[in-house]
């Protein structure tokens, strides 16, 4: 399993303007082959901070996602706002099991 985890920090004033584009990319991505989890979460204590978490069946599925039209549209939406920071990591996980 491939995990992508990290943050996107926007100007707090820009959050409202990217909500529609975020909802579109979330919906389209969740329907992609190989997508297990795709999630954005606003941090309650740090305005403008969006936490990103993704799980993919394979690197190939993640690569196909990166070439999709909805990712191109998401990147275009981000070019219209102030992105203060973007920090994502790709993690290759070997095994997952239920906790407790």
pLDDT tens-digit readout, 39-57: 999 999 999 999 999 999 9
**Per-residue pLDDT for 76 more than 90?**
yes
d(CA 88, CA 98): 25
What range does the domain containing 45 cover?
Answer: 2-92
For residue 100, being part of any structural domain is answered with no
CATH assignment at residue 88: 3.30.70.100
Output the pTM of the full model: 0.92
Is 9 part of any domain? yes
In a domain? residue 59: yes
Residue 97 counted as domain residue: no
- Report the number of distinct structural domains present in the chain: 1
- pLDDT of 96 > 90? The answer is no
Rounded to the nearest 5 degrees, what angle is found at the Cα of 74, between the Cα atoms of 71 and 80?
Answer: 145
Q: What is the pLDDT of residue 100?
A: 85
């Amino acid at each position: 399993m491939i995990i992508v985890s990290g943050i996107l920090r926007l100007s707090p004033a820009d959050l409202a303007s990217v909500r529609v584009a975020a909802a579109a990319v979330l919906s389209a991505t969740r329907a992609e082959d190989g997508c297990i989890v795709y999630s954005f979460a606003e941090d309650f204590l740090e305005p403008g901070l969006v936490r990103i978490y993704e799980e993919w069946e394979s690197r190939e599925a993640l690569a196909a996602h990166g070439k999709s039209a909805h990712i191109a549209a998401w990147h275009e939406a981000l070019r219209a706002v102030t992105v203060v920071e973007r920090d994502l990591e790709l993690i290759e996980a070997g095994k997952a099991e239920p906790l407790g």
